Amino acid sequence: MTEPHANRTNVADSYTAAAEGYTEKLFHELDGKPLDRLLLADFARKVRSGGLTCDLGCGPGQIAAYLKTCGVWTCGIDLSPGMVTLAKQRSPEIGFECGDILSLKHEQQYSGVAAFYSIVHFHGVQLDTAFANIFRSLEPGGVLLLAFHMGTESKHVSELFGATVDLDFYFHVPSEIAMALMRSGWVIDRIVERGPYPDAEYPSRRCYIEAHRPADQSDRQPTNMTRRANFVTRFRRKASTVLRRQS
């Protein structure tokens, strides 16, 4: 298994090389993603009366920019200096900075964290490290909205929006991500899945998980594994209902 921090230089350099093309192509992507807007608006409703919300692994900061239009006090963090530069150019009123989710030391700094496709280069123990670090960075009761590509495969990419890159993308199984979150103490509130928007994005199924850091000792999920599995299944059914309503 790859060491937790072994591939970060490649990732940072790759996204800096691809930053211009990525921003050009994706900064306005939410215009064509109605379910993402709906989930983000609902997330905004939960976090905007609190403190700061971080777009973690923000890329060019389109999620932070959208949350700001929903009345959320936002900032952004990304591993790639090139992405952070472009995020600052696109949204100068938002505070963006370089940082690493895998060594994030923030303690109870945020009311919310949105992490859209920021875990796509993590697998195995890296996921546990990321979820534990994000958990600590949130106030009790703070909310996480996570988006990722669904699947079991990994994909090596050497070209991204015209730039030469060296990136391994990991697809994830929702129930495994939910289990990993619960291992770090998260309470899962919602799991939503959708198919790809044709012509608007890479043709993979997408999953969104909303979870929160427990507000107190009584705010807990069942610890028994069977009950956990049932819980995930129940939320997957609920997600289908949400999607049917969307279509």
Ligand X SMILES: C[S@@+](CC[C@H](N)C(=O)[O-])C[C@H]1O[C@@H](n2cnc3c(N)ncnc32)[C@H](O)[C@@H]1O
- The residues binding ligand X (CB under 6 A) are 8, 11, 15, 26, 57-59, 63, 78-80, 83, 100-102, 116-118, 120-121
**Closest approach of ligand X to the CB of residue 59, in Å:** 3
Question: Of all helices (H) and strands (E), which one includes residue 227?
Answer: helix 225-246
Of the candidates 50, 29, 26, 30, the residue with the CA atom closest to the CA atom of residue 39? 30
Number of residue whose CB is nearest ligand X: 59
Residue 80 or 184 with smaller CB distance to ligand X: 80
56 versus 188: smaller Cβ distance to ligand X: 56
Q: Judged by CB, which is closer to ligand X: 30, or 187? A: 30
Q: How far is the CB of 37 from ligand X (least distance, A)?
A: 13
Count other C-beta atoms under 10 Å from residue 86's C-beta.
Answer: 23
204 CB-contact burial (10 Å; exposed 0-12 / middle 13-18 / buried 19+): middle
User: 182 Cβ partners below 8 Å, 6+ apart?
Assistant: 188, 221, 228
Distance CA 117, CA 208 (A): 10
The least CB distance from residue 64 to ligand X, in Å, is: 9
Cβ proximity to ligand X: between 76 and 231 the closer is 76
Q: What's the closest the beta carbon of residue 160 comes to ligand X, in angstroms?
A: 9
